[in-house]
Amino acid sequence: MGCRLLPIGFSWLATTYRVEMSTAQPIMDAEDMRDADWSIVDVLLEGRANAPFIAEKTGYSAQYVRERLGRLKQDDIVEPLGHGLYELNEREVPKRGSGE
């Protein structure tokens, strides 16, 4: 977990700082991708979709798909479009390993 000091105010006597803690997880690579993640990517390669549709196509629960979409969103692999729709950002999808 990283930590940054950011100035938030100034007076003639001192500058006030706030501490910002980073809880960002490292960017996923192909080894970090779960089977569910690859299944979600495969569905989104066909076009935009929402979590219930992806769940129906993949056999995973809608709740689990939403969790994985959240993680994929953190790494810019998917992009939320509003109204529950997601789109794949193909440039950010890791290359599948030879074991896939």
pLDDT tens across 11-64, in order?
A: 555 555 565 555 555 577 778 899 999 999 999 999 999 999 999 999 999 999
Using alpha carbons only, how large is the chain's radius of gyration in Å? Answer: 19
Phi, psi of 64, rounded to the nearest 5 degrees: -65, -40
Claim: this prediction has a pTM higher than 0.85: no
- List of domains in the chain: 35-92 (1.10.10.10)
pLDDT at 10: 56
- 100: pLDDT confidence band, cut at 50, 70 and 90? very low
Of 97, 82, 86, nearest to 38 by C-alpha is 97
Of 92, 46, 96, 98, nearest to 71 by C-alpha is 92
Q: How far apart, in whole angstroms, are the C-alpha atoms of residue 25 and residue 32? A: 11
Tell which wins on pLDDT, 80 or 31. 80
Residue 72 CB-density burial (10 A; 0-12 exposed, 13-18 middle, 19+ buried): buried
- 98: pLDDT confidence band, cut at 50, 70 and 90? very low
